[in-house]
Structure 1
Amino acid sequence: MKQYKIFIVDDQENVRKLISCWIDREIYQIREFEDGYSFLASLDEEPDAVCLDLMMPGMDGMEVLKQVRMKKPDLPVIMVTAAESLETAVEAMKQGAYDFITKPIDRHRLRASLKIAVEKHSMTCEISRLRKALGSTFSFDNIIGKSDAMKKVFSKIENVLETNINVFITGESGTGKEMVARAIHFQGGRRKGPFEAVNCGAIPENLQESEFFGHEKGAFTSAVTNRIGKIETAEGGTLFLDEVGEMSPSLQIKLL
């Protein structure tokens, strides 16, 4: 069974020990810190979640939280404090706290919050790992070619990586147009978004508009449910239109 790393940051030793006693040692590996400075110095040890006291001498919990957000934006931080101010709780959540628990601590709530936090963090890390793997799969190194013509292709790809312009890729069938599109997506600024590939030639003309723009239930005879179009599902990412010349001219105008 995987052990998750939990860092407990509180200037009061009795509070740190109490939280440690409540946490299942078979599931969690615990480290305690009496101040924000020593905790931040150990942040590279990759904790899965943090229990952070708000009121501490020297660097308070809010400042520590800001530092964590800059260095580890995906790390869940559960703020623990004796203050019951709604304004303080709202400010902590605005700064990126995962949860806000007041003292005396409800151990059942703390356990539940930690469980969800580490599971979410684990999933976030796995998604990040898969994205990096995809990026490596569709890197320039996997596009074969050292000729002057291919060097020009690589140069053009690099020119559009961080832009939001439409890219028109031409070439004979089987020359790797989709591979170029995926390289642009996974190496560019939209790599965190979805990549949607659509073969325009495989969609019947009477269904093309619905495929791209979606439809409401009952819009036509076979529309028994609402459907989200490809344009919406690709929001924030890349929509690759293969064989775009097979699309009806009227729909091409609407897309442009």
Structure 2
Amino acid sequence: MKRKTIHLVDDESIIHDIFRRIFQEPEYELRISENKSQAKTNHDEDVDVVIMDQMIPGSSGLEIFKELKTNDPQIKVIFLTAFGTIEAAIEAIQQGALDYLQKPFNNIELKHKVDRVIKEKKLKRENTQLKKTIGDRFSFSNIIGRSPLLKKILGIVESVADANSTVLITGESGTGKELIAKAIHSNSNRRNMPFSPFNSSNIPANLFESLLFGYKKGAYTGAVSDKKGIFEEADGGTIFFDEIANLTTETQSKILRVIQEKEIQPLGGNVIKKVDVRILAATNIELLSKVKSGEFREDLYYRLNIINIHLPPLRERKEDIPLLAETFLKRFAKENNKSIKDMNAKFLRHLMDYNWPGNIRELQNTMLRAVLLANGNTLTPEALTPEVISNKNQRQEPGGFNEKVDAFKRQLIIETMEKNNWVQKKTAEDLGLKPSTLYELIKRLRINK
């Protein structure tokens, strides 16, 4: 456990003794300075709080505070002030100090103030780290792939992130629709507000409205107290409706009202509440066919479909498979304490041959299984399922010219490398390439033995 670091700047030995009794090891680390020179030497960013006497020989507490703040803008300082110098302490607070205590101080009050400052600083640091983690997890750079199709999608995401318009995300199951929704939210001006997913396929239809709009006490049997709904709890943020086609027509009507009027009415209540929520929706079916059959409201469809982002199936962007597979390999190897470093060429070739009806989710599960079953440091076809291996001769290359050319180059290089026992110099000679050119191709096409 990290010790709480306190820096006392005071020239009185009696104050030093008091602090040593209050702030004892191992919970606290106490640094003591008697003048400006010592204070500058003893202070660094590991210090949680500085206790600064107002009167320091050859200087003043305020002067030392200003100098320390130059190198540590986040410095937290509590001033100790004697009778008649409160005005100076107030000036220090105006300069950015947190608080002051008048001598003689109460030991309990001093410890309480110090512990509170340290706790608040710790929470702020953790909150900053959490936001960074969330931002990193869902920033564009962490959506895996480099295919032209994916780059086009991320361009749209970037363009619409800060808008308040609804977005309809379409694509087969397992293509990453919720990941795109989270990327839109985390790169928007709502990023610090809630992101609330609602998957109607996992929830009984009779609970839709109470969960979304909340209810008042007595609204129905079992409603023993008021409860806020998702719309109210997500106020200022984003709601993501996954599988929106499953919503009942009555719930569809109420969501349309939220989009148009920006207001909700809890079940059993008679008060209209205003909400500011951005709606993102996703579906893995052709929603327009539901409109034509009367199962989905046409007016809601067009309000949702202002911006449409269609995610292609993995079989249409196979050039992303090596990068995805490598990312999953590293993640699962680390999570399961495995020393697996790479995949051999035949393993990767099977991944490229297979059409992945379950898309990225199926690839992810396949890589997890392979990592768990692997015995050595390299993944081999023995760790793959029969379904993946049996699709060996059913290759469907990506539709673009450049993708097909890259796939052909990759296959040709792998076959020639295998023939030459993976000796690059001999392979380059057989292919009529410079060794440096072959090396760059191997690196760009992510070819591993």
Q: What range is the shorter-chain TM-score in?
A: 0.7 to 0.9
Per the TM alignment, residue 151 of structure 1 is displaced from its structure 2 partner at its CA by 0.9
Change (3 A) 1:229 1:94: farther
**Aligned partners of 1:179 and 1:36: how far apart in 2?**
53
Matched, 1:250 2:250: no
Q: Deviations over 1:75-130 (max 9, x none)?
A: 654343336969x77x9499672x54322111122123323332343333233333
Q: Where do residues 205-244 of structure 1 align in structure 2 (5 Å cutoff)?
A: 205-244=205-244
**Aligned partners of 1:213 and 1:77: how far apart in 2?**
46
Give the AA of the match of 1:251: K
TM-score, normalisation: structure 1 = 0.74
Matched, 1:112 2:112: yes
Give the AA of the match of 1:71: P
Report the 3-state secondary structure (helix = DSSP H, G, I; strand = E; otherwise coil) of the residue aligned with 1:219: coil
Give the AA of the match of 1:253: L
Q: Where do residues 12-51 of structure 1 align in structure 2 (5 Å cutoff)?
A: 12-14=11-13, 17-18=16-17, 20-21=19-20, 22-33=22-33, 45-51=45-51
Change (3 A) 1:191 1:249: closer
Would you say the 8 A contact 2:53–2:61 is kept in 1? no
Q: Where do residues 69-80 of structure 1 align in structure 2 (5 Å cutoff)?
A: 71-72=73-74, 76-80=76-80
Give the AA of the match of 2:217: K
Q: What is the root-mean-square deviation of aligned Cα atoms in Å?
A: 4.0
**Aligned partners of 1:139 and 1:117: how far apart in 2?**
32
Change (3 A) 1:137 1:105: same
Report the 3-state secondary structure (helix = DSSP H, G, I; strand = E; otherwise coil) of the residue aligned with 1:5: strand
Matched, 1:144 2:144: yes
Which residue in 2 is equivalent to 1:123? 123
**Aligned partners of 2:39 and 2:153: how far apart in 1?**
48
Change (3 A) 1:113 1:147: same
Would you say the 8 A contact 1:169–1:177 is kept in 2? no
Change (3 A) 1:30 1:202: same
Change (3 A) 1:186 1:249: closer
Would you say the 8 A contact 1:9–1:50 is kept in 2? yes
Q: Tell me which moved more, 178-187 or 204-213.
A: 204-213
Q: Tell me which moved more, 172-181 or 40-49.
A: 40-49
Per the TM alignment, residue 216 of structure 1 is displaced from its structure 2 partner at its CA by 2.5
Matched, 1:184 2:184: yes
TM-score, normalisation: structure 2 = 0.46
Identity of aligned residues (%): 32
Per the TM alignment, residue 240 of structure 1 is displaced from its structure 2 partner at its CA by 2.0
Would you say the 8 A contact 2:79–2:97 is kept in 1? no
Report the 3-state secondary structure (helix = DSSP H, G, I; strand = E; otherwise coil) of the residue aligned with 2:167: coil
Give the AA of the match of 2:170: G
Change (3 A) 1:182 1:8: farther
Matched, 1:60 2:62: yes
Per the TM alignment, residue 55 of structure 1 is displaced from its structure 2 partner at its CA by 6.7
Per the TM alignment, residue 175 of structure 1 is displaced from its structure 2 partner at its CA by 1.7
Give the AA of the match of 1:130: L
**Aligned partners of 2:83 and 2:219: how far apart in 1?**
55
Report the 3-state secondary structure (helix = DSSP H, G, I; strand = E; otherwise coil) of the residue aligned with 2:170: coil
Give the AA of the match of 1:60: L
**Aligned partners of 2:40 and 2:258: how far apart in 1?**
49
Per the TM alignment, residue 178 of structure 1 is displaced from its structure 2 partner at its CA by 0.7
Give the AA of the match of 2:255: Q
Give the AA of the match of 1:211: L
> What 5-or-longer segments of structure 1 have no aligned partner?
none
Would you say the 8 A contact 2:33–2:42 is kept in 1? no
Would you say the 8 A contact 2:31–2:42 is kept in 1? no
Report the 3-state secondary structure (helix = DSSP H, G, I; strand = E; otherwise coil) of the residue aligned with 1:241: strand
Would you say the 8 A contact 2:54–2:61 is kept in 1? no
Would you say the 8 A contact 1:6–1:30 is kept in 2? yes
Report the 3-state secondary structure (helix = DSSP H, G, I; strand = E; otherwise coil) of the residue aligned with 1:117: helix
Would you say the 8 A contact 2:200–2:244 is kept in 1? yes
**Aligned partners of 1:6 and 1:113: how far apart in 2?**
12
Report the 3-state secondary structure (helix = DSSP H, G, I; strand = E; otherwise coil) of the residue aligned with 1:170: strand
Would you say the 8 A contact 1:16–1:32 is kept in 2? no
**Aligned partners of 1:107 and 1:7: how far apart in 2?**
16
Give the AA of the match of 1:241: F
> What 5-or-longer segments of structure 2 have no aligned partner?
260-449
Per the TM alignment, residue 217 of structure 1 is displaced from its structure 2 partner at its CA by 1.9
Q: Where do residues 88-107 of structure 1 align in structure 2 (5 Å cutoff)?
A: 92=93, 97=98, 99-107=99-107
Would you say the 8 A contact 1:194–1:237 is kept in 2? yes
Compare CA radii of gyration and give the structure with the larger one.
2
Report the 3-state secondary structure (helix = DSSP H, G, I; strand = E; otherwise coil) of the residue aligned with 2:240: strand
Task: State the aligned residue count.
Answer: 249
Give the AA of the match of 1:250: S
Would you say the 8 A contact 1:8–1:16 is kept in 2? no
Which residue in 2 is equivalent to 1:8? 8
Give the AA of the match of 2:131: R
**Aligned partners of 2:236 and 2:35: how far apart in 1?**
40
